[in-house]
Amino acid sequence: MQGVCLLGATGSIGQSTLNIIEQHPDKFFLACASANESVDKMADICRRFLPKRIVMGSQEARDRVATLCDGLPISFEWGSEALDSIAEDAQVDQVMAAIMGFAGLKPTLAGIRAKKRILLANKEALVTAGQLFMDEVAKHGVTLLPIDSEHNAIFQSLPQDEHGAHKRDFSKIVLTASGGPFRSWSLEAMKEVTLAQACAHPKWSMGQKISIDSASLMNKGLELIEACWLFNVTPNEVDVVVHPESIIHSMVSYRDGSVIAQMGNPDMRVPIAYGMTWPNRVATSVEPLDFVKVASLHFEAPDLERFPNLQLAAEAWYLGGTAMAVLNAANEVAVDAFVKGRIRFLDISTVNRAVLHSTDIQSVDSLDIVFAADKVARVMTKQYIAERNWL
């Protein structure tokens, strides 16, 4: 039996993880879980899975969950220190890092330092502090399994040793992208994108922030940076290909001309279950792929004029240092501004470019530098947005 710490239990990744735990009660149990303010969802999780400890984002949310779950043998906690603590808990064997955004970095690092198996669904941890993050993984001898469907597909398409390390005998990584809801829209039409349209992903059911990032291809840009850290490559060694069917989740091109791809119906329970059970596999109740029904697959190059965030991510990687943390912070603030109706959809990339190119980039040798860069970039982005008339 493996104890799971589920960081971000009420989001889409968290819910899919709970589904796998529920399907395999002989293999997994929920030891600890966290959420921000989703009180009712967390209360339901507590009743169904009886975790040892849960952590909420505020004292008020903690108290409300505790009241709804009165009498259950659970420790109800709140705050960042408690969040780090559950990732280190003695009952935990695996940490599912599914807190979206920069907030997921510290508790994921706490799990690494406690030598837990890390199931990484938070791409921002690698984007903002990639070298430090991977150094910690190596230092503590931790098994790191990527959960993003694309990176999980790459992992499955590469030969590994018993620790998950890869042989370097490939020539290119091919990262697939659905293209999002605006793949076929003109630049002129994209000027009028609404929040509801940006959140309507054609293939995946995701939260609001990641859906908007997917629509702008920033999500793919962050995945490009993540792939570089995970598989020790540069952006020049990663091809991004738009594949609207989302059947091939990513591919690896080898030196001899072979290409190995991981395919399947788009359902996050597959990469989650693979990460939880690697190097083995378990049933997921996901419908098998019907090749006759699929019939054909299509591929096209991404349009960097309509989706400049992808190129900005590559630029940030080559700039190095704090550039990736700056871009991530700017994008989080810009997306929030779009959600609140302060800027338009296309303005997100305009904001990101301006902040990235006007910030002093520093080398990174500690998390303090990363946190400071994140804080400065957020202030700069808010000021940049506030000083202009966007609508």
The token duo for 387 is: 């000083």
The answer to whether 2 touches 93, Cβ cutoff 8 Å, is yes
DSSP state letters, 269-306: HHHHHHHHHTTS-----PPPP-HHHH-----B---TTT
Q: What are the residues whose beta carbons fall under 8 Å from the beta carbon of 216, sequence distance 6 or more?
A: 180, 198, 307, 309, 345, 348, 349
Residue 116 CB coordination number (10 Å): 24
Tell me whether residue 152 is annotated as binding. Answer: no
Tell me whether residue 178 is annotated as binding. Answer: yes
Tell me whether residue 77 is annotated as binding. Answer: no
Tell me whether residue 375 is annotated as binding. Answer: no
Tell me whether residue 122 is annotated as binding. Answer: yes
Vertex 76 angle, CA 75 and 80, to 5°: 115
The token duo for 65 is: 């969950």
**Helix and strand totals (H; E) in the chain:** 17, 11
Tell me whether residue 17 is annotated as binding. Answer: no
Tell me whether residue 180 is annotated as binding. Answer: no
Tell me whether residue 10 is annotated as binding. Answer: yes
The answer to whether 107 touches 98, Cβ cutoff 8 Å, is no
Tell me whether residue 40 is annotated as binding. Answer: no
Tell me whether residue 258 is annotated as binding. Answer: no
Tell me whether residue 219 is annotated as binding. Answer: yes
Tell me whether residue 382 is annotated as binding. Answer: no
The token duo for 79 is: 């705050």
Tell me whether residue 201 is annotated as binding. Answer: yes
Tell me whether residue 150 is annotated as binding. Answer: yes
Binding residues for Mn(2+), by number, are 148, 150, 223
Binding residues, by number, are 10-13, 122-124, 148-150, 178, 201, 207, 214, 219-220, 223
Binding residues for 1-deoxy-D-xylulose 5-phosphate, by number, are 123, 149-150, 178, 201, 214, 219-220, 223
Binding residues for NADPH, by number, are 10-13, 122, 124, 207
